[in-house]
């Protein structure tokens, strides 16, 4: 097992390929913030700005500044996005919009609480980088607002008819299991503990179905199964991402049982989501094997494979389970052969079931400067520590 070779290749891809691609093509030095709609070569094809992607990029460059090297260029890019977000990103109640024009005029109302979640990550990390209390306060206030909105995250923008089929979604407890660790240094220990307990319970006891080995995207408000399109929906990538979040909580809490449980679930999810005909991991599946109500279920997405690799790397590093390493190599080979663009840099985001590129874009409304560099950084550091522990 050549951990050092993998670690070096991940570091090189991060610092000499992916980060330079975004440094060169993404910053909007005229109006602030970032362009995220970039074609294969990095040319801008749409100038609208999506808040959650703006926030993710602030987080990414702040994180690199804090954890890799205190490069002025990285901090300048982070501040470029943060200044734009401070000026234009929120409504009067402190809720973060979904999208803005290039100049900062609101386009889409704050219906999506995930803009808020990534704003917390962005400003908490930037606060560490700059030492400015102003950024800490934005992160802290937004985090409290998220918890207040937790039971009704879409608020007045929820299009469902209230009371007919009440249900809750997996995404928020999943994100909270990572977000709480990002903001832990800014909030009181009691709230940290309560949030961790809530997130772990929801992820591991409510949405995870032990009898089937997968995690549902939606359940009834009382945790029950709903036999509908929404109730049967499974996204293996979300489950795999949440499992390395839970492993991180296990490390924090020194809870080996939780780490092993998350590792075992991750292995189940990979086995469940793997396409045995064409390889790769399905984007969505139906819990009962019925047809999906969405056309992208058979697609193969970049972030799904990246989160799978991180779950396997962390699972192996923390437990020594060789099944994790074998799966890591299997997914690594598929992902690097299909998603990585060796001609123009960065990764393609969307493949068809057979592994052919569907969209040649490098960024858009849903893909930005986040999953790929985070994966490379986390992978590099996990592989590096694994190599040290095995020397």
The string of pLDDT tens digits covering residues 249-284 is 999 999 999 999 999 999 999 999 999 999 999 999
Tell me how far apart the alpha carbons of residues 116 and 182 are, in angstroms, rounded to a whole number: 13
Q: Tell me what pLDDT residue 391 has.
A: 55
The total of other beta-carbon atoms located within 10 Å of residue 155's CB is 13
Stretch(es) of the chain classified as CATH 1.50.10.20 = 30-159
Helices (H) and strands (E) in the chain, counts: 13, 14
The total of other beta-carbon atoms located within 10 Å of residue 293's CB is 13
Closest CA to 347 of 6, 7, 5, 10: 10
Stretch(es) of the chain classified as CATH 1.50.10.10 = 1-26+168-391
C-alpha dihedral, 125 to 126 to 128 to 129, nearest 10°: 130
The strand pair at 37-38 and 214-215 is best described as unpaired
Q: 341, exposed or middle or buried, with CB in 10 Å at 0-12, 13-18, 19+?
A: middle
Per the CB < 8 A criterion, the answer to whether 82 and 60 are in contact is: no
Helix (H, G, I), strand (E, B) or coil at 38: strand
Helix (H, G, I), strand (E, B) or coil at 98: coil
pTM of the model: 0.97
Q: Tell me what pLDDT residue 387 has.
A: 84
Domain 1-26+168-391: CATH architecture, name and number where available: Alpha/alpha barrel (1.50)
Q: Tell me what pLDDT residue 15 has.
A: 98
Q: Integer distance in angstroms from the first to the last C-alpha of the chain? A: 11
Tell me how far apart the alpha carbons of residues 302 and 304 are, in angstroms, rounded to a whole number: 6
Tell me how far apart the alpha carbons of residues 38 and 34 are, in angstroms, rounded to a whole number: 11
Q: At what angle do helices 236-253 and 302-319 cross, to 10 degrees?
A: 30
Tell me how far apart the alpha carbons of residues 12 and 153 are, in angstroms, rounded to a whole number: 39
Tell me how far apart the alpha carbons of residues 212 and 59 are, in angstroms, rounded to a whole number: 36
Cα–Cα distances in angstroms (integers) from residue 128 to residues 64, 87, 135, 233, in the given order: 11, 21, 9, 38
The CATH code of the domain at 30-159 is 1.50.10.20
Please say whether the dihedral angle defined by the alpha carbons of residues 174, 176, 179 and 180, taken in this order, is positive or negative. negative
Q: Write out the DSSP string of 97-133.
A: PSEE-TTS-EEE-S--HHHHHHHHHHHHHHHHHH--H
Per the CB < 8 A criterion, the answer to whether 39 and 45 are in contact is: yes
Per the CB < 8 A criterion, the answer to whether 215 and 242 are in contact is: yes
Task: Please report the beta strands in the chain, taking only residues with DSSP state E, as ranges in sequence order.
Answer: 37-38, 44-46, 49-50, 99-100, 106-108, 167-169, 208-209, 214-215, 218-220, 233-234, 285-286, 300-301, 350-351, 357-359
Q: Tell me what pLDDT residue 165 has.
A: 94
Tell me how far apart the alpha carbons of residues 215 and 264 are, in angstroms, rounded to a whole number: 13
Closest CA to 146 of 154, 158, 134: 154
Show the low-confidence residues of the chain (pLDDT under 50).
none
Considering only CA atoms, give the Rg of the chain.
Answer: 20
Tell me how far apart the alpha carbons of residues 28 and 329 are, in angstroms, rounded to a whole number: 38
């Amino acid at each position: 097992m050549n951990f050092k070779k993998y670690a070096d290749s991940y570091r090189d891809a991060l610092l000499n390929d992916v980060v330079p691609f975004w440094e060169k093509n993404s910053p909007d030095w005229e109006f602030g913030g970032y362009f995220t709609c970039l074609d294969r070569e990095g040319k801008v094809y749409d100038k609208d700005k999506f808040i959650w992607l703006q926030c993710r990029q602030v987080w990414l460059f702040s994180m690199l500044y804090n954890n890799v090297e205190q490069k002025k260029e990285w901090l300048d890019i982070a501040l470029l996005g943060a200044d734009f977000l401070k000026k234009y990103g929120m409504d009067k109640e402190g809720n973060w919009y979904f999208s803005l024009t290039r100049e900062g005029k609101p386009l889409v109302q704050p219906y999506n609480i995930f803009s808020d979640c990534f704003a917390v990550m962005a400003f908490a990390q930037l606060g560490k980088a700059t030492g400015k209390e102003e950024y800490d306060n934005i992160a802290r206030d937004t985090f409290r607002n998220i918890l207040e909105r937790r039971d009704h995250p879409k608020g007045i923008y929820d299009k469902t008819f209230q009371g007919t089929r009440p249900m809750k979604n997996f995404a928020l407890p999943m994100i909270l299991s990572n977000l709480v660790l990002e903001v832990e240094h800014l909030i009181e220990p009691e709230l940290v503990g309560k949030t961790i307990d809530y997130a772990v319970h929801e992820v591991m006891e409510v949405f995870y179905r032990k009898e089937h080995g997968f995690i549902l995207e939606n359940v009834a408000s009382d945790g029950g199964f709903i036999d509908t399109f929404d109730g049967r929906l499974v996204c293996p990538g979300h489950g795999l991402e949440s499992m390395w979040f839970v492993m991180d909580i296990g490390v924090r809490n020194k809870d080996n049982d939780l780490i092993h449980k998350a590792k075992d679930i991750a292995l189940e999810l990979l086995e469940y989501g793997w396409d045995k005909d064409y390889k790769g991991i399905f984007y969505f599946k139906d819990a009962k094997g019925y047809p999906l109500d969405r056309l992208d279920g058979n697609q193969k997405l970049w972030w799904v494979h990246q989160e799978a690799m991180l779950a396997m790397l962390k699972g192996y590093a923390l437990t020594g389970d060789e099944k994790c390493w074998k799966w890591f190599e299997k997914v690594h080979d598929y992902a690097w052969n299909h998603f990585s663009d060796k001609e123009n840099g960065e990764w393609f985001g969307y493949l068809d079931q057979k592994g052919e590129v569907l969209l040649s874009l490098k960024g858009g409304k849903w893909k930005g400067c986040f999953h790929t560099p985070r994966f490379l950084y986390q992978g590099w550091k996990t592989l590096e520590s694994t190599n040290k522990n095995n020397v």
